[in-house]
Structure 1
């Protein structure tokens, strides 16, 4: 009979208290819930808000550039676009310069939804400043960008 594998509970506590990945995941889930709750009256999730905001550009971006900005793979982005496209908030068209590529455009309705949701996002973001100072928020965002 072999001896059962055992990891000391102290190791579990150490990982809980020192794992950067776990800390970021937990914070991301808490932030996502907070912004999801705030944006719910506009029938948006925080991810959809970020996706719509990423399309608010003078020139329609291609799928690859948006996927890169949002740190998503193209397949995940394509799936995330579907409900927004069905709602008429986003238009996906062939790139006239390369028919294999896709250009993403915020529709007038998408811009309207985004403009109504932006004050809600601003208010929720301001609530974070009650927990983190503007300097802490700036540093934290900068530190996270280093990982990307």
Structure 2
């Protein structure tokens, strides 16, 4: 007999683990900015409008989790400083960011249309979609179900 979702320990849930790292506004926006070329501490603080202390903590957590890497650079006559780059794990968050963008445009967008559009190198807009391992596009989320995986534990 398969356990129901309510019978499983929610601490083993990958969504719970991911939101533990990325569940606050600033972490997701830091990833967005680094992806789009804002990589230095001062530039991130200025662009995001976040306090330096909060930014320092978010950057440290994202580096510790392997989402960002800290790379030193030095400009002529200046002390060494750091910039941040996405790791492979960080780049794997791009579909999540596109899904946030799509959802926000559909449900929270302004009358003037989307403020930003992600485009493929061919020029077409990029959209998020669910596709099963056999290649079927999921048109309705009710076509899916969550099943316990090998790492699931009962409550």
Q: What is the TM-score of this pair, normalised by structure 1? A: 0.53
More helix by share: 1
In the other structure, the counterpart of 1:120 is: 99
SS at match of 1:55: helix
Q: Distance in 1 between matches of 2:97 and 2:16?
A: 13
Q: Deviations over 1:58-90 (max 9, x none)?
A: 5x6211011100102322211111221111011
Instruction: Show structure 2 runs of 5+ residues with no match.
Output: 1-14, 116-155
State whether structure 2 residue 45 is matched by structure 1 residue 67.
Answer: yes
Give per-residue Cα distances to partners, 1:73-127, cap 9 Å, x unaligned. Answer: 32221111122111101112322324442211111210112x1212320233021
Change (3 A) 1:116 1:135: closer
- Taking a change above 3 Å as real, the CA distance of residues 103 and 116 of structure 1, as seen in their structure-2 partners, is same
Q: Matches of residues 125-140 of structure 1 in structure 2 within 5 Å? A: 125=104, 126-129=106-109, 133-135=110-112
**Residue 54 (structure 1) aligned with residue 33 (structure 2):** yes
Q: What RMSD, in angstroms, separates the aligned Cα atoms of the two structures?
A: 2.8
Total equivalences in the alignment:
95
The Cα shift of 1:41 comes to 8.3
Pair 109,57 (structure 1): closer, same or farther in 2 beyond 3 Å: same
Structure 1, gaps ≥5 residues long:
1-38, 139-148
**Structure ranking higher on relative contact order (CA contacts 8 Å, 6+ apart):** 2
1:108 correspondence with 2:88: yes
Indicate which of 76, 79, 90 corresponds to 2:68. 90
Structure 2 distance, partners of 1:50, 1:57, is 10
| Change over 3 Å in CA distance of 1:120–1:40 after alignment to 2 | farther
